[in-house]
Amino acid sequence: MGSYQQHVLDAMDTYVPHKTFTSRQTRKKPLWMNERAFSKIRKKRATFNRYKETREGKDYLECTKARNAAKNEIRKAVRDYEKEIARKAKANPKAFYQYVNSKTKSQTRIAELKSDDGHVLTTNRDKAELFNRFFSSVFMV
């Protein structure tokens, strides 16, 4: 390989952003997902695809039955998982609080701050520096 090609490859490694794509098989499944729920979901997808191709009434009825069965199995799996988390809460409080925090929809962020000179700080770095100056001045060693 020539010197020019090596420079191009080095430049690509340095400056071209890389994005990796994961296939469906490597995605993480929800913690509550069990094999029964997963098989019902697969059956629901298969019956829906069959209905999309044929658009027949009997396929629609089969699709709705599979949908309802999958929904019921998912609800049961989530309920069983939550019961298990609650049962083990004393022995494993970390898992309990992880689950509780995953269910909260709000994310706490530091609001916009005003610096001493009146500028509004919006970036996390600027806010951290402002807090650092403040706490350094208050807690002198």
List, for residues 117-133, the tens digit of each pLDDT value: 888 888 888 888 888 88
**Token pair belonging to 47:** 């019956």
Say what the pLDDT of residue 89 is: 93
Note the helical H segments in the chain. 3-15, 35-54, 57-87, 93-103, 124-138
Q: What percent of the chain lies above the pLDDT cut of 90?
A: 47
CA 45 – CA 63 distance, rounded (Å): 8
Say what the pLDDT of residue 72 is: 98
pTM of the full structure? 0.57
CA 22 – CA 28 distance, rounded (Å): 10
* pLDDT per position as a tens digit, 14-56: 888 877 766 655 668 888 999 999 999 999 999 999 999 999 9
